[in-house]
Structure 1
Amino acid sequence: MGDLRLRLNQTQRVRLEAALHEIQTLAPAAAAAAAVTFADNIPVNPEDSILKGHGTSDQDGEVVATVCGVVERVQNLVCVRALRASEWIIVVHALIFLLDLLRYKPQKGDIIIGRVSERRRTDVDELNMRSILEENDLVCAEVRHIQHDGSLDLQPRSQKYGKLQRGQLLTVPAYLVKRRKQHFHHLEQYDADLILGCNGFIWVGEHVVVDEETNSNEEQHKLSMEVEAFTPLATRRHICRLANVVRMLSALGFTLTVELIIQTVEASLASNIEINNMLGAQFYVQTAEREAKRRADLSRRMNGPW
């Protein structure tokens, strides 16, 4: 919530906090108790008559923690129980484990996006490669092998998704991109390509049409030179809208899937949200509320009567 840095009025703040709290309670891994540190906000339902107990305080209408510990709730009473020394050791180990999980750990077959930094092969190979790629070029590749020293052997998945041009590169926490069978998506309705890199790099760009039968470096270079340098205005607008959706969903901490991205784009269009207003407070709130409702409906369907 604090990382969004949004200019929220009081109504928007209450709505956003309520939606995020609903999402948190619906999460499969949500625990009954949550660890907090000093000055952390404690999410509560604004409609409940909350009683603030030990370890909590009221600050600008919000319940905040005054000690480090675990939030405990008994009906409408909210308090924070300070952790004992043995519990702190467990918390530290858990945080170390969590940080390790948040790092991108490459696996064979991963689709990743990055920039060319240097050449490692022979001078002849370097000259041949420079006819296609140069330093700082943006590329998409598949992890084919992981060396003992941690370096990766990469190979373009196809000529279509090698060098990336005419689009936007976005960086999100890698844990927001789950490994799936398909990471390349042609969004035909937007004339755009979406690539969800397992390393947290997201590409949104103009759709590329390349003959998959073409396999020589010379022919590929010729094709890239013949591609029009101009991207239609409508396509550029679609790319910007898609990119803003990725930025917003990432800021909200939502797992990035092509389905959620498209749904959010369609919602922005249905609500007549201009591209330059998509990162404003109102659309953040609407998106969080819509996701909370979707998850609540899904939970009811899964846990309903057979």
Structure 2
Amino acid sequence: MDADDEDFLETGGLKMTWPGESLTSAQAYMRGHGTYVDNEEVIASVSGLVERVNKLITVRAVRTRYNPEVGDLVVGRITEVQPRRWKVDGNSRQDAVLMLSSVNLPGGVQRRKLESDELQMRTFFEEGDLLVAEVQAFFGDGTMSLHTRSLSYGKLRNGQLVTVPPILIRRLKSHFITLPCGVDLILGLNGYIWVSKHVKDSEREGEDGFDAEAVYSNKNDEIDDSTRMAISRVTNLINVLAAHYIPLTDTVLLDAYEWSLEQEGDVKDLLQEDAGDALVATILAKG
């Protein structure tokens, strides 16, 4: 192991590894999941991200399903409407559940859910709808229970879904990111990222603080050409970074966007191999 790798372990950073790579000395660190010990060295047994917690070294495999935790922010798609609940694809081992009692409904956040609400569940969410929610709890069989009881959560519109390996999404102080180009990002910890037109918080609120028509509308707003171009640019940048297994954070995405503005050519040219290599080299140099 060279000096740069030792510095990486000391600072607790993240880096990609592959099976058989020596990570550190087994005398200085303890091995965790995704590693084994050979000749007094901690060796990676899977391809993934190296993580250090104190003296424990683990490797999170790249190709793995999302493992949810309470409090996680996720982006999902409604797959089925059932009595008093919705089934949600959350990119996990099984579909999540969003209970009717766990969403905001017209007429007041705290009001009781009535039989009439159950009869019109498809006016709130129907099959194919995308939403952002928070993991609230787990049922006995391990199914995650979601809730959208916040003005920041709910149905998603005016944007595009991007799917990346969940391992590339870091836990951040906030997973809602607004870029200077007028594009909002929602980094779901389950690997689903929503890239959309910027919406001010005031546009989602009515006189009582909850505009049901805006929150549950199925109609996209008018999006101008420059915003569409910005959404496409950010989407392509995410795909390039994910293809090179670069962990996605607000800082990385902002650096990538600023770099792309300095390049000549169309937005689609960002997907060219040489452009991708140049972007990754720039990000790694700053990292």
User: TM-score per shorter chain, which class?
Assistant: 0.5 to 0.7
Unaligned runs of 5+ in 2: 23-36, 48-58, 85-114
Q: Map 1:102-181; keep pairs closer than 5 Å.
A: 102-122=64-84, 124-156=116-148, 158-181=150-173
The alpha carbon displacement at 1:128 in A equals: 3.2
Alignment partner, residue 195 of structure 1: 186
In the alignment, the residues of structure 2 paired with residue 95 and residue 290 of structure 1 have an alpha-carbon distance, to the nearest angstrom, of: 27
Counterpart residue number, 1:233: 225
Task: Work out whether residues 133 and 153 of structure 2, in 8 Å CA contact, stay in contact via their aligned partners in 1.
Answer: yes
Question: Which structure has the larger Rg over C-alpha atoms?
Answer: 1
Structure 1 contact 160–208 (Cα < 8 Å) conserved: no
Cα gap change, 1:284/1:154 in structure 2, threshold over 3 Å: closer, same or farther? same
Which protein has the bigger helix share? 1
Counterpart Cα distance in 2 of 1:260 and 1:228: 29
Contact 1:131/1:221 (8 A) holds in 2: no
Superposed CA deviations along residues 76-133 of structure 1, whole A, max 9, x for unmatched, are: xxxxxxxxxx97xxx9994498549943111111000111112343475443322221
Q: Is the 8 A contact 1:140 1:157 kept in 2?
A: no
Q: Partner letter of residue 213 of structure 2?
A: H
Corresponding residue SS for 1:118:
strand
Percent pairwise identity: 31
CA contact (8 A) 1:160 1:209 kept: no
Deviations 1:248-280 (A, max 9, x none): 010111000111111111111112342010011
Q: Give, in whole Å, the separation in 1 of the partners of 2:161 and 2:263.
A: 26
CA contact (8 A) 2:183 2:230 kept: yes
Matches of 2:117 and 2:274 in 1, distance apart?
53
Give the secondary structure class of the aligned counterpart of 2:252: helix
Q: Tell me the distance in 1 between the aligned counterparts of 2:161 and 2:73.
A: 15
2-structure distance, mates of 1:246, 1:179: 17
Structure 1 stretches of 5 or more lacking a match? 1-22, 37-69, 72-85, 296-306
> 2:199 aligned with 1:208, yes or no?
yes
State whether residues 73 and 135 of structure 2, in contact with CA within 8 Å, keep that contact through their aligned partners in structure 1: yes
Q: Greater share of strand residues, 1 or 2?
A: 2
Does the CA contact (< 8 Å) of 2:134 and 2:147 recur in 1? yes
Q: Is the 8 A contact 2:155 2:215 kept in 1?
A: no
Partner amino acid, structure 1, of 2:198? H
Equivalent position to 2:245, from 253, 256, 281: 253
The answer (yes or no) to whether the contact 2:138–2:144 under 8 Å persists in 1 is yes
Q: Deviations over 1:189-220 (max 9, x none)?
A: 22221000000001101122354654989941
Query: Do 1:184 and 1:196's aligned partners in 2 also have CA atoms closer than 8 Å?
Result: yes
Output the TM-score relative to the length of structure 2: 0.65
Q: Residues 213-292 of structure 1 correspond to what in structure 2 (within 5 A)?
A: 213-214=205-206, 219-221=211-213, 225=217, 229-292=221-284
Secondary structure of 1:288 counterpart? helix
Q: Which has the higher contact order (CA 8 A, sep 6+)?
A: 1
1:45-71 Cα shifts (integer Å, max 9, x gaps): xxxxxxxxxxxxxxxxxxxxxxxxx79
Whether the 8 Å contact between 1:176 and 1:255 is mirrored in structure 2 is: yes
Partners of 1:101 and 1:280 lie apart in 2 by 24
Pairs aligned (count): 224
Distance 1:167 1:108, change over 3 A: same
Which runs of at least 4 in structure 1 moved beyond 6 Å after TM superposition?
Answer: 23-26, 215-218
